[in-house]
Amino acid sequence: MNRALGVVALLLLAPSAWRWVRPAPVPTVAVMDAGKRKPGDWTFGSDGKKWGVDGSKIYLGKFWIPSAVLAALPIRVQNNPGETIADRLSVTRRSDVLLHAESQFHDDEFKSAVKRIRERKDRERREKKEQEEQGRGVAQSPTP
């Protein structure tokens, strides 16, 4: 806090300190080439070599190519990255839905298998219990 107050006081007392805080503006290409370039001219160069693009040509040093040739080149145009991600995600979501639908089928099969096993185990326990009761009943009956 004290340091900030010191900087503010310095700026208020010494206007020349503004140069230290706010550097001089850097001239832009538009300002430097004011009046020399046409709108849409993105070229530079020296010694007879020109590089860049303007409204009608693409300059590559000593050579130039008409801009219309660019339309004929088989250049893969990049889509909107957001759309690309959304397309990729839609495929992923669909596969997730299909996977979970399939797993639901497996869950239903699993539940029915568990139910069959429980019924079988309950039946085996009942039969075992009935056999034990019959065995005890025979052993406890009086002999004449």
CA distance 111 to 122: 16
Higher pLDDT, 9 or 127: 127
CA distance 116 to 110: 10
Query: pTM value?
Result: 0.31
Asked if residue 106 is part of any domain, the answer here is yes
Higher pLDDT, 76 or 7: 76
Asked if residue 130 is part of any domain, the answer here is yes
pLDDT at 119 over 90: yes
Higher pLDDT, 9 or 66: 66
Asked if residue 105 is part of any domain, the answer here is yes
CA distance 46 to 58: 16
Asked if residue 112 is part of any domain, the answer here is yes
pLDDT of residue 129: 93
pLDDT in tens, 105-117: 677 888 888 999 9
Rg (CA), the chain: 43
DSSP annotation of 4 reads H
Q: Give start and end residues of each alpha helix (H) in the chain.
A: 2-13, 18-21, 29-32, 67-72, 81-140
Q: Which residues contact 38 (CB under 8 A, 6 or more apart)?
A: 54, 55
Length of the chain: 144
Asked if residue 90 is part of any domain, the answer here is yes
Its domain, for residue 117, covers 82-137
Asked if residue 89 is part of any domain, the answer here is yes
pLDDT in tens, 77-96: 667 777 878 888 888 888 88
pLDDT at 127 over 90: yes
pLDDT of residue 124: 96
Asked if residue 9 is part of any domain, the answer here is no
pLDDT in tens, 14-35: 555 555 555 566 556 555 555 6
pLDDT of residue 55: 83
Query: Count of domains in the chain?
Result: 1
